[in-house]
């Protein structure tokens, strides 16, 4: 590829990367580039050229390119078809051309001479070149090429009639979906994909952010209450140590009347190392009683249920997972002592949110709240709902889940070896599953044959019955077993496949955009959306105006396409690659 083409491709990619997130449509357009050769006339290499469109029945549609002024009358076929040089004046691309060194390019907006968009059909691209005062069409170069207008983008390279390296690019009515995940970490990306999932008890809000429930903070992978969590007391990573607990206000404190001395909570009324205060030890053999060092000791368990009695005895031991702190039995962390055991009231179904608050049968406890438990049921089901908001699976493309949770083949197809096939043309299952044709044979109308006539009548894609193809699906469409381009399950065709429950431009239905500042949730525009850089009050996908024209007056621009339409990007990129390929062939 030449330096010029590389630069062009990089420019196209940069422009594409800067397109507005969401959906941008490509205006339907035909672009043709070609090389010319001399027809052998007296004025060669000087020549005149015309390019025009006809129907397959020979009816004139429109001139899309003409390099000729007064000598246009020697383009005999073009003159006969179009009516002469006085018509289609907007198609003049230049005057007489002096050489054959540079390729020529024409574009067509798929409108006829009257400005109306032509219907889908097969059209003929006619080219004519004259380099003398021709009196017979045999003296001119005549090129005839075909293309199909059917909404499906295509590109072909061909030659003929003295016109070489003819690259025909049809953009189709392709619509590109551009994921909207800028500034989003979760939720729908607007193109049936996901920007991510939330973890640690967080949920995804309408702005695409993972958030903890009210009163909780995300610390070390979990949503915690920093008012009471000893590992994150007052903030993430601020752990309480030395026997301290988080007091409910986000501060680490020692239990009871203990003091924090030398990195640990101690009872200064009995501690011989801190008798009466931190760093006040008793001499060897002395006891600490009531915060005073003494040579004698009177056991005292007043207000204490466990731990030392101040001398050498014990006031009791703890059970149920509790430990002794300041003479009291306490549960670890944020657990609560309920019915002789330490429990987490955030998750305990017997003590949900508080001791004795039991959840009903079939319910679970989540963050201290009882909720109904649903038991998924996929018995004998391979698709559809599991009865709890989940899925038992999805059917392959083209097969629809029925009420019994099965994926039957569409009418006319047979399930063979796990795949829906048409036994009227499938060589591995001709007329019946497992009945294969011999190598080199075709399956025609359910019978093996050595000859075959391709047939794509009423088909969009897939096998033409003879091993060839009837086309490919674009815009997110998939080829179903009936060889028709369809959207996958859960999507509808809005010019491309879209989930109308979450797409901002097709919220609840095709062409129903949400205002900026809202997001599409459940097919309804609601909440605050991520600021995509569109002025407040705008509607995503529109520019507030009507249909316009470009500077040539040729091509209309749909509302919302101006400044965000990648149709030109697609055309330029394909042309760049095509031109590069042509230069390599020279």
DSSP character string of 72-134: GGG-HHHHHHH--TTS-GGGEEES-B--SSS-EEEEE-SB-TTSPBPPSEEEEEEEEEESS--
Domain boundaries, given as residue ranges, for the chain: 30-170
pLDDT tens per residue across span 278-304: 999 998 888 888 888 888 887 888 888
pLDDT of residue 453: 86
Helix (H) or strand (E) holding 141: strand 141-149
The tens digit of pLDDT for each residue in 495-550 reads 677 778 777 778 888 888 887 667 777 788 875 433 333 333 333 333 333 333 33
In terms of Cα–Cα distance, which of 67, 190, 68 is closest to 494? 190
pLDDT at 89 over 60: no
Dist CA 381 CA 395 (whole Å): 11
The model carries a pTM of: 0.37
The whole-angstrom separation of Cα 408 and Cα 395 is: 9
Distance CA 237, CA 521 (A): 35
- Is the pLDDT at 27 greater than 70, yes or no? no
Secondary structure class of 326 (helix, strand, coil): coil
> Contact, 66 vs 90, CB < 8 A?
no
Q: How far is CA 484 from CA 478, 481, 496, in A?
A: 8, 7, 15
Q: What is the 3-state secondary structure (H, E, C) of 483-543?
A: CCEECCCCCEECCCEECCCCCCCECCCCCECCECCCEEECCEEECCCCCCCCCCCCECCCC
Phi and psi at residue 265, to the nearest 5°: -85, 130
Q: What is the pLDDT of residues 387-422, one digit of tens each?
A: 776 778 888 766 778 878 888 887 778 888 878 888
């Amino acid at each position: 590829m030449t330096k010029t083409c590389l630069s062009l491709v990089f420019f196209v990619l940069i422009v594409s990367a800067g397109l507005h997130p969401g959906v941008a449509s490509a205006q339907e357009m035909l672009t043709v580039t070609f090389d010319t050769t001399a027809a052998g006339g007296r004025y060669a290499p000087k020549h005149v050229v015309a390019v025009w469109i006809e129907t397959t029945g020979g009816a004139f549609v429109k001139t899309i390119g003409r390099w000729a002024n007064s000598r246009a009358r020697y383009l005999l076929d073009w003159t006969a078809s179009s009516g002469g040089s006085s018509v289609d004046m907007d198609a003049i691309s230049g005057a007489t051309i002096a050489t054959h060194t540079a390729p020529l390019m024409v574009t067509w907006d798929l409108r006829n001479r009257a400005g109306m968009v032509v219907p889908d059909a097969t059209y003929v691209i006619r080219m004519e070149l004259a380099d003398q005062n021709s009196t017979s069409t045999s003296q001119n170069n005549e090129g005839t090429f075909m293309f199909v207008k059917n909404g499906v983008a295509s590109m072909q390279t061909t030659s003929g009639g003295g016109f070489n390296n003819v690259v025909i690019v049809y953009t189709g009515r392709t619509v590109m979906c551009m994921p909207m995940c800028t500034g989003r970490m979760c939720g729908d990306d607007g193109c049936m994909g996901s920007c991510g999932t939330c973890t640690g008890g967080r949920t995804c809000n309408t702005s695409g952010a993972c958030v903890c429930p009210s009163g909780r903070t995300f610390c070390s992978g979990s949503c915690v209450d920093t008012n009471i969590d000893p590992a994150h007391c007052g903030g993430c990573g601020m752990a309480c140590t030395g026997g301290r607990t988080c007091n409910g206000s986000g501060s680490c404190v020692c239990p009871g009347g203990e003091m924090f001395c030398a990195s640990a909570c101690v009872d200064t009324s009995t501690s011989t190392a801190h008798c009466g205060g931190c760093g006040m030890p008793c001499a060897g053999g002395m006891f600490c009683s009531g915060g005073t060092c003494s040579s004698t000791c009177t056991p005292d368990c007043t207000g204490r249920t466990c731990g030392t009695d101040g001398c050498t005895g014990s006031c009791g031991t703890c059970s149920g997972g509790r430990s002794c702190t300041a003479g009291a039995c306490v549960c670890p962390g944020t657990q609560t002592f309920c019915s002789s055991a330490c429990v987490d009231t955030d998750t305990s179904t017997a003590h949900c949110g508080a001791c004795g608050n039991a959840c009903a049968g079939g319910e679970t406890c989540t963050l201290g709240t009882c909720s109904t438990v649903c038991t998924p049921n996929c018995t004998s089901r391979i698709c559809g709902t599991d009865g709890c908001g989940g899925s038992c699976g999805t059917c392959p493309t083209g097969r629809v889940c029925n009420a019994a949770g099965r994926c039957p083949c569409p009418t006319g197809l047979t399930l063979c070896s796990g795949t829906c096939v048409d036994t009227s043309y499938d060589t591995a299952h001709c007329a019946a599953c497992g009945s294969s044709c011999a190598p080199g044979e075709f399956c025609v109308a359910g019978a093996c044959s050595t000859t075959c006539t391709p047939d794509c009548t009423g088909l969009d894609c897939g096998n033409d019955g003879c091993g060839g193809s009837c086309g490919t699906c674009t815009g997110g469409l998939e080829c179903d077993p009936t060889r028709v381009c369809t959207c996958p399950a859960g999507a509808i065709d809005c010019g491309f496949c879209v989930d109308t429950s979450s797409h901002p431009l097709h919220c609840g239905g095709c062409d129903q955009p949400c205002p900026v500042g809202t997001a599409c949730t459940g097919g309804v525009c609601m909440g605050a959306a991520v600021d995509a850089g569109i002025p407040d009050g705008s509607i995503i996908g529109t520019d507030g105006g009507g249909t316009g024209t470009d500077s040539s007056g040729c091509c209309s621009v749909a509302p919302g396409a101006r400044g965000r339409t990648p149709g030109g990007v697609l055309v330029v990129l394909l042309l760049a690659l095509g031109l590069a390929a042509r230069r390599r062939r020279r």
